[in-house]
Amino acid sequence: MAKYNVHGGHNPSGKVACGAKGFLDESKEDRAVAKAIIKYLKKGGATVYNCTVDNGTSKNDVLKKICAKCNAHNVTLDISIHLNSGRNDKKGDKKNGGFEVWACSWNDSKRAIVKRCGKAMEKLGFTNRGVKTSTSLYYLKRTKAPALLFEICFVDDKDDYLMYKAAGADKIGKVLAEAILNKSISTTKASKVVSKLKSGAKVKIKIGAKYGGAASGKTIPSAYTGKKYTVTKVQKNNNQQEALIKQLNSWVPTKYLAIV
């Protein structure tokens, strides 16, 4: 089973040694992307360690603590997530700074991963800046496992900002995780149901389902299961999503519904 270390770079936003700021806040967004990558790598069957550091006392201290966390695990690959800066494009020039990946050195395995990542980001609209080499970056030099440093996009490029917001950290994390593992990662059945449930959707009620809303907790009679119903409205109630079923005029938690 593949094992990975993943972390968001720098200290948290507002602390010493935090990341760059512009249209995007690097420390906030690198953590959001790292979190999504970790989630989807795990869904893909990998073992993943979150090596993000939130308590560094200086830039060097942050880097030392990140490397110490990474080196505590025997993994296939170390991955550091960052956002770039230096474009200073405040108005938007219809070009985006784009995505790039850094390493100390390159072999076929790392190049293959980065090639897939670049293509995945291109599909989301980002420019693929390709591979970059540095033998001086602290993190890249001091991890036991092979390491890659991802620069997702530029915080100070308006076009990058718009592209990033349109895609979202979760989607970016998913496509990068799929590229790293070199396979598609399916979302859970429940997630698919929730994403498609909206007014007019056709559903069936599962056996053992319970009512939501005012009748919450009461079991729905089996006579109602297996038939086709129409969703009128969707709401969140008591930390669960519920759908109003037109023919029953009753709320049913979406975990008990199947799209037809």
Amino acid 239: pLDDT:
77
Residue in the structure block whose two tokens are 């695990």: 73
- Looking at the DSSP bridge assignments, the partners of residue 128 are 99
Amino acid 259: pLDDT:
86
Amino acid 226: pLDDT:
80
Amino acid 195: pLDDT:
57
Q: Which domains does the chain have, with CATH numbers?
A: 3-181 (3.40.630.40), 189-259 (2.30.30.170)
> Which one, of 203, 177, 200, 199, lies nearest residue 40 by Cα?
177
> Which one, of 65, 58, 74, 60, lies nearest residue 7 by Cα?
65
Amino acid 146: pLDDT:
98
Q: What is the pTM of this model?
A: 0.74
Residue 116 CB-density burial (10 A; 0-12 exposed, 13-18 middle, 19+ buried): middle
Residue in the structure block whose two tokens are 């970059």: 132
Amino acid 173: pLDDT:
98
Amino acid 207: pLDDT:
86
Amino acid 71: pLDDT:
98
- Secondary structure class of 240 (helix, strand, coil): strand
Characterize the bridge pairing of strands 240-245 and 250-253: antiparallel
Amino acid 217: pLDDT:
87
Amino acid 200: pLDDT:
87
- Provide the token pair at 225: 């299961």
Q: Which residues of 29-49 are buried (b: 16+ CB within 10 A; e: fewer)?
A: bbbbbbbbbbbbbebbebebb
**d(Cα 150, Cα 103) in Å, to the nearest integer?**
9
Amino acid 76: pLDDT:
97
Which residue ranges in the chain fall short of pLDDT 50? Answer: 191
